[in-house]
Amino acid sequence: MHKPIYAAGYYPLAHDPSEWERDLKNMKDAGISLIRTAEIFCGWDQIEPVKGKYEFDWLDKFFDLCGKNEMHILLGTGTATPPYWLHELYHDVNIVDNSGKAYPNNVSYSWACLNHPGYRKEAERYLNTIVNRYKSHPALYAYQIHNEIGFPFMPHQGGSMSVYCYCDHCKARYKKWLSDRYAGDIEKLNYAYSWNATHTRYQNFNQVEPPEAAPSAWSSLTRWIDWRTFWMEGVADFVKWQNDIIKESDKEHLTTTNTFFMKSQDPFGVLMGLDPFKIAENVDVIGFDIYPGSGNKADKKPEFSSMCLDMSRSAANARGKDFWLLETESGPINGWVMGPDRNVTGSDLWRNNFDAIGHGCKLNLYQGFREWDYQPIHWGGLVDLDGQPTKRYYEAAEIGKTLGKIDDIVRTGSSQRAKAAIMISRENAIIMQGIGQEEFLRKAVTGAYTAFWNNEIPVDFITPQLIEQGKAFDYKLIYTPLMAQVTESVAARLEEFVKAGGTLVGSARLGMLGERGWLNHTIPCHSLKNVFGISSFEAESNVDPEITYNGEKFLGRWHREYIEPFEDDVKVLAKFDDESPAIVCRSYGKGAAYYIGTHSDMALVDNKSKLLETLINDIAEQKNLFGSLETGGALKKHGFDFHLVENKDNTLIIAVALPKRSEKGPDSEIIPVNVMLNRKISSASDVIGEKEIDFTQDDNGLVKLNVEVYKDRAAVILLK
């Protein structure tokens, strides 16, 4: 079966049936070969408006048209948008927030409770119906489970996100989950829930209610960890539930679902109930939605796309799976009448598509091909409201032509293997969100990523669960941004990692909290205090301390810890302005541990202080953390981001221009590039320009060539 790599969302009921075939032809002419539909807009609510009475005629016709035009369909399961009769049949099916208010119908998708037995019963019946109807159709390629799985990220009205779900069905399921978590021993739960302000002594699990207040309201932190962990696991289990139903009837076609990372309203998915690493276990391919234009993150947060794509790849690779970009913008995006947030142009399409391909993505999908009259929020479109091609359409067609030339390498290849990883933790995120300090964590993770990205060091994300599975040993370095919670078992595994030759870089407040979110008695915590050879429990807060590193002055951020070495071999690499240690390093076993007594990652975001960027570069040179691609700093110097994608026979060099670079300067520049390969190559060519490129390769495999990069489109170089 052909494996599509270029796709678009399209919703037949939004357009006149007489226009469908024309739109399909325009998509095909642009190189698009996969269409996502029926997950929303044309979902369950449109197909079964009356229980048991299906309206499949339009979808049957669309499937047949796609088959006739050799187009494939990514079929949504539609469960995000149940029909209204479900609410009439089960009055308690709507999710309920912590104030007891039910989420209203006719607002957004995901309004029905995933744990409601009536919803599950009807959804399973519907899902079996559509799978058995279309599983043998030649146009079917894969199924998308739900849509943007998790709770709604928009509140009922202005303000912060609401917390869900507190219906009776969720409460009952939660109590069962707690009983399993605490091995049926209520006294274990009572101990874990110790909280001096109000220490309820439960007699059985049926008495335990989910917390309606976050810890920032002077509530128990442990309860909050349990409650949000329950939901992160529950959402992933719901995906598995649908996947199992599909696979019972259809083992041939792939399954996927789409999720987020760094969504502005809920960056770590705490309130939406998202654990991408867990979700990835339960589908064939994990999908992510990334909108650099929404909120104009393209200009304001240039690292955003790259960071989200690296996280997407990390979640997929951790489970040995591929990832797809299941939504990205196709035109002006967001903002209602006073928008758009960004007037997306052809150069944005080139960047978004090839940035994803460069990070190892196997399929890119525009949301959508054509905009909808009834949603005047600005949501793209390669064609206009009448279906006529725009300038973006012709750029998309050039992108499709280019992807057609490299599709085999995209499908079978992989991006550069990272030697460094940034540690992120759902438990740590739950804690920081619950105590109202999530924004600090967001800045710390963003600053940490930016330090690697600016140094052009490939980097993955790793979780405590993966570390406990031994995955730390896949890397040479692990960095821990504002990792306030570290358990004893994870600390022990990190100690083993350093002993075996790894490099651990810790930052302020490392492991301040442990099991249940309670205080650890040392910072760094547990066995990590011996790895670093220091104690750093005392600190000042809300300061930006001055630090001297290698004779240069930098600013830290927020904390200034009092680092007290207790091992003689601890080396002081940087000092605060009072000459006390700011950064220390210690050899431990075959490896090394660095500790930073402030948040240099946050300082990079808030103060543009390059302390962490400089330190990471110095460590990378010592530990050989750079990839096989070297551009002489093209990202920082010229505004071009380079990637490698390779299969066993071919190598692609991909370069995209950052948005600000797309707006100024010459149309193209020549960047000298070095690539270390383990095979001899016979040719180098510019795929888009269709011209050969001069190169040299020495006996060690080092290829040297000059790459012409462009401000308004990607550069794609093929080494054969």
* pLDDT one-digit tens code per residue, 411-425: 999 999 999 999 999
Sequence-ordered list of residues with C-beta below 8 angstroms from that of 672, at least 6 positions apart, any chain: 631, 632, 704, 705, 706, 707
Confirm if 471 and 498 have CB atoms less than 8 A apart.
no
- Cis omega before residue 165 (within 30°)? yes
pLDDT of residue 1: 58
CB 620 within 8 A of CB 614: no
- pLDDT computed for residue 170 by the predictor: 98
pLDDT band for position 608 (50/70/90)? Answer: very high
Q: Whose structure tokens read 């993966």?
A: 466
> How does pLDDT run across 423-443, given as a tens digit for each residue?
999 999 999 999 999 999 999
pLDDT band at 157, cuts 50/70/90? low
Query: For residue 585, what pLDDT is reported?
Result: 98
The owner of tokens 């209203």 is 104
pLDDT of residue 106: 84
Residue 156: the pLDDT is: 63
Q: What percentage of the chain exceeds 70 in pLDDT?
A: 99
Q: What is the pLDDT of residue 158?
A: 66
Percent of the chain residues topping a pLDDT of 90: 95
Tens-place pLDDT, residues 171-196: 999 999 999 999 999 999 999 999 87
328-387 pLDDT per residue, tens:
999 999 999 999 999 999 999 999 999 999 999 999 999 999 999 998 999 999 999 999
What distance in Å separates the CA atoms of residue 211 and residue 373, rounded to the nearest whole number? 42
Q: What is the 3-state secondary structure (H, E, C) of 517-571?
A: HCECCCCCCCCHHHHHCEECCCEEEEECCEEEECCEEEECCEEEECCEECCCCCE
CB atoms under 10 Å from CB of 4, counted, come to 23
Model confidence at 613, pLDDT cuts 50, 70, 90, reads: very high
Predicted confidence band at 107 (pLDDT cuts at 50, 70, 90)?
confident
pLDDT for the residue 347: 96
| Residue 461 pLDDT > 90 | yes
What is the mean predicted confidence (pLDDT) over 293-314? 97
Q: Do 589 and 531 touch, CB atoms closer than 8 A?
A: no
Q: What pLDDT digit, counting tens, does each position of 468-496 carry?
A: 999 999 999 999 999 999 999 999 999 99
User: What does the mean pLDDT of the chain come to?
Assistant: 96
Query: Which residue type occupies 132?
Result: N
What's the pLDDT band for 308 if we cut at 50, 70, 90?
very high
Q: Name the packing angle between helices 304-317 and 346-358 (round to 10°).
A: 30
Model confidence at 661, in pLDDT bands (50, 70, 90)? confident
pLDDT at 549: 98
Per-residue HEC secondary structure of 103-164 comes to CCCCCCCCCECCCCHHHHHHHHHHHHHHHHHHCCCCCEEEEECCCCCCCCCCCCCCCCCCCE
pLDDT of residue 217: 87
**Pair of tokens at residue 321:** 């799976």
Contacts of 4 (CB under 8 A, 6+ apart): 33, 34, 72, 141, 363
Closest CA to 56 of 141, 172, 137: 137
Strand-strand pairing, 581-588 and 558-561:
unpaired
- Residue 427 · residue 266 · CB < 8 Å: no
Distance CA 36, CA 38 (A): 7
- Tokens standing for 102? 């039910």
